[in-house]
């Protein structure tokens, strides 16, 4: 885009879109792996662990 002389705002918009797409893809991969961390506790322990993992996961954003 730079070489073809595109407007800087278009370039920044595209970079932001690519960055968001990569972040979302990474978060999906991580979220899938987090289920392994939850194990097979009873429902109450699992619920507490899910809340804890959600909080940690959101801190990545």
Per residue in 19-41, pLDDT (tens digit) is: 999 988 888 877 777 777 777 66
Residue 6: partners with Cβ closer than 8 Å, 6 or more residues away: none
More confident residue, 12 or 35: 12
Closest listed residue to residue 54, CA positions, set 44, 37, 40: 37
Q: What is the pLDDT of residue 10?
A: 93
Closest listed residue to residue 40, CA positions, set 32, 31, 52, 49: 49
Chain mean pLDDT for the chain: 82
Q: What is the pLDDT of residue 33?
A: 75
Confidence of residue 15 (pLDDT cuts 50, 70, 90): very high
Residue 34 in contact with residue 57, Cβ under 8 Å? yes
* DSSP H helices in 1-61: 8-38, 43-58
Residue 29 in contact with residue 60, Cβ under 8 Å? no
Q: What is the pLDDT of residue 40?
A: 67
């Amino acid at each position: 885009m730079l070489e073809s002389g595109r407007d800087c705002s278009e370039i920044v918009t595209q970079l932001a879109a690519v960055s968001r797409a990569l972040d979302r893809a990474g978060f999906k991969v991580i979220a899938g792996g987090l289920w392994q961390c939850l194990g097979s506790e009873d429902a109450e322990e699992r619920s507490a662990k899910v809340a804890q993992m959600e909080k940690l996961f959101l801190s990545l954003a």
